[in-house]
Each structure stands twice: as C-alpha cells, then as structure tokens.
Amino acid sequence: MPTVTQVILLSSLSIILIWLVASHHSTPTRTPTPHRNPNTPPTTSGKPAFRQRLIAVGDLHGDIENAQKVLGMAKIIDSNSNWIGGTDILVQTGDIVDRGTYAFDIYRMMQRLRGQADGQGGRVVSVLGNHEVMNAIGDWRIWKSKWWVNEGQKEKEGQGETEECAYWLGLPTSSRRYGRMYMLGLDFLLRPQGVYVFKEYVTQDDIKHTGGTQQRMRDLSIDGWLGQEWLANYSVTALVPLGPHPSAPTFSFTHGSLRPSYTDLLPYPDQINSLGHSLLVKALTPPLAPPYPPNPYSGLPKGHTQAEAALYDAGGPLWWRGLAETQNEKTVCEWADQLRTKLGVRRVIGGHTPDFEKIVDRCNASIIIIDTGISSAYGGVLSALEIVYTLTPIDITKDRDRNHRQDPLMADHTDEMYAEGLIKGHRYLEREVVTAIYAKKTKLLALEEREITL
C-alpha cells in the first residue's frame, strides 16, 4: 500500500510529466513550420507538371502606398510597381475608391499591371465594390451615425452604414478601435447619451487630387478613362479557374457576400455581371447624377430595372455581409455548401467587411473574407491571400505500360494535352495550398491534396 506522501509525490510527478509532454507537443502546432514557404513545389512526388499561383487583395480605399506594399509583399510587383508576377493571377475584390486620396492612382496602377501581366501570361482580375458603384451613381456621401449607450445596451440610430460602426464599437476591443478611428482624424462628437460619427467617403483631398468635381465626373463617365476601364475590365463578380483542364478548381470572387437565395445568382457569373454592366452603363452615361453632397441623393440612374435595383440593394452581392457577419457557424457552412454546389466553385472569397487583424476563413476555408482594412483610413493589417495550385504526375510510365497492356489499341496519339505536360487520362497529385500573407508572417489556411485523373 502506498503512503499518502507517495501518492502525492506520484501524482505531482505525473502532472509535471503531462505538462512537459503537452507543452512539448503544443510548440510545433503553434507555428506550422512545414509550409513556411508555400512557393516551394511539393517534393513528395517529383516536379509539378503544372503550377498556378493566385494572389487576392481586399479593399484598398485610396491608399496607394499600402496597396503597393501589399502587392510587393505578395511578390506581384517590384519596387517600381512593375509586374513581376509572371503567370500569376491577381484578383482585387473592389473598393479601391473612397476614404483615402489616391484611388485614381491605384486604378491607373491596376490598368498598367493588367497590360504587363497580359504580356507575361499572367492576369489581373478586377471586381467592383459598392464604393465604385456609389461613385458611379453620384453617391459621394458623408454619413452620420449615432449610438445610444443605454444601460449596457447599444441601440443604433442614424443613416449610412451604422452596422459598420456598431461593429467597431461593439467589439471587445472597442475602446482601441474607437481610439484608432479618433486618431485618424475622423470627426467625433461625444455626448453623454452616445457617440456621433461624421465621415466623408469622397474626401476633399481626393476631389482636389483628381482635378475637381467636374473633372472627376468626366473621368468616371462612359467617355472618361476610368469609366471605360470599369466597363471593360471590372465586373461585379468573377469566376476564376486555376488550370486549363475541365476539372480545375474554380473560385468565386465578389466584393460583398453572395447570398444563396439571391434571385439572380444563376447562371453564374454571367447573370450578375450583365446586371452590373447595364447598371453601370446607365449610371455613367451623361448627364451623370450631380454628386451628393451637396446635391440631394438621386438614387439609382433613371430607367434602372428591378433586377438592377436588387443587385445594388442590401441583400445583393455589392452590399450583403452575411457570410462575414453571421455568427452561427452551422448556418454559414450550410450557405457555403449551397454556394459551392450552385456556383460549382471550391471557395467563395470576398471583401467588404473588415477584420483589422486577419484574413477570416470559415468552414474549412470554403469562405474567405480578405478585407483587413489595408488602407490607413482604417489602419488594419497589410494582407494578401495566396493560393498555389500544382499538379504533379504520378507514375506516368507505369500508367502507360498498364494502358498499353490492357488496351493495345490505345496508342500515344490519343494523348490529348490540356497544356504542356498535362495529359488527358493521366493521374496527377493535385495540391492546393491557401495561405494568408502578412507583413512579417504567413499563415496556412488550407492544404488539400488528392489524386485526380485528368
């Protein structure tokens, strides 16, 4: 029989042991080292026959310096803002404009990068945000929001994006965010019964920088360089495949959240994009709506259809925040499954709702929200999303021998190629690595590997 002292001694020892083992074990999981550099092709099964890299960046809101930093960080541009992404795909999910001064410079940069990427076999994909469309329809608003803090309960009141402000103020770190907003020189009024916020979308500096209200409107119009660029090279949503073969994974990029029950979701993406295009043509055809303020808000352009109005309303792809803000994980993951099935995509990626600390992945990264408040108007972290997709051949020679044995009539001339090295009917290891890139670190969000037959 062990004595009491022995029992105490033994149990303390086991506790120490368990603690040692546990702390030892938890160290490597805290820092996922194996995927520090996702650019390294898999070494497990030889050299990939195909590799496609995609970089996506969220809301940039008039901050050209941070936009350049983010693209530099993602190795898409060099220090002279020239494309070094080679065959990479760059997706920007909208809201380049407003809140900062240099939006038009970012549009110019994107236009230049698009041309350079084209020349190197890469691609720039541009998505329209609610702020692009707001500028198009003359909604250059200043919004006011007001909170009542009442016996511990918050009540929202006022106009504009009150929920956006409530989001800031409602978080546990609200005082810090509040302080951050204050330091950014936003106009606050503190009253015993609540907080009032006044904020400009199109800033006076932006208007000055773009040559005044009239010049800005001309640039935005169907005859101006930016209006033409939006109409030619921007869309409300983008369906992006990562390879030339029919089974290549595809991704959906939209500024806001796609709602599974949104009436015009299908056929995807053409239905949404043709509505977006026709709405934009109506908005940008002179005479443009005189900007509000100082003029009254004129709403959607004359002659807009019901479907165009639904595209632009709170439940449409430019404004809805459901995939980002809905708390219930089960609901969101059901939506994710519905969207993946309906749209035929692997992941649904959006911006619009900032998390100032990180890229948010939900439901096994089938939903990824990449707005981290990159613009200094917010002061969030600099971030970019990276997807690296590779196909590595599995025992091609053995497969050939087997094919030839089983069916001697199946000769080499049946080998149809999707791209150099991608042969129809052959087996490959498909690998998809999804990584969040920040200024000083990267975080692995998803790694999927499977064998596929092309």
Q: Cβ closer to ligand NAG: 78 or 329?
A: 329
> x/- contact string, 240-279, with ligand NAG (CB under 6 A)?
----------------------------------------
Task: State the minimum distance, in angstroms, from the CB of residue 75 to ligand NAG.
Answer: 21
Separation of alpha carbons 17 and 436, rounded Å = 36
Separation of alpha carbons 332 and 48, rounded Å = 35
Range in contact with ligand NAG (rule: CB under 6 A) among 70-78, 228-236, 351-359, 420-428: 228-236
Range in contact with ligand NAG (rule: CB under 6 A) among 111-119, 194-202, 346-354, 423-431: 111-119
| Closest to 240 in 3D by CA, of 112, 344, 367 | 344
Task: State the minimum distance, in angstroms, from the CB of residue 437 to ligand NAG.
Answer: 23
Residue 121 interacting with ligand NAG (CB under 6 A): no
Range in contact with ligand NAG (rule: CB under 6 A) among 33-41, 227-235, 239-247, 265-273: 227-235
Q: Cβ closer to ligand NAG: 110 or 272?
A: 110
Residue 232 interacting with ligand NAG (CB under 6 A): yes
Structure tokens at 242: 């990562």
Which of 233, 274, 278, 326 is the binder for ligand NAG (CB under 6 A)? 233
Residue 447 interacting with ligand NAG (CB under 6 A): no
Query: Which is it for strands 442-453 and 50-57: parallel, antiparallel or unpaired?
Result: unpaired
Task: State the minimum distance, in angstroms, from the CB of residue 114 to ligand NAG.
Answer: 5
Residue 114 interacting with ligand NAG (CB under 6 A): yes
Residue 60 interacting with ligand NAG (CB under 6 A): no
Residue 223 interacting with ligand NAG (CB under 6 A): no
Task: State the minimum distance, in angstroms, from the CB of residue 146 to ligand NAG.
Answer: 38
Task: State the minimum distance, in angstroms, from the CB of residue 228 to ligand NAG.
Answer: 4
> x/- contact string, 309-348, with ligand NAG (CB under 6 A)?
------------------------x---------------
Find all residues with CB under 8 Å of 191, minimum gap 6, and list them: none
The footprint of ligand NAG (CB under 6 A) covers: 111, 114-115, 118, 228-229, 232-233, 333, 363-364
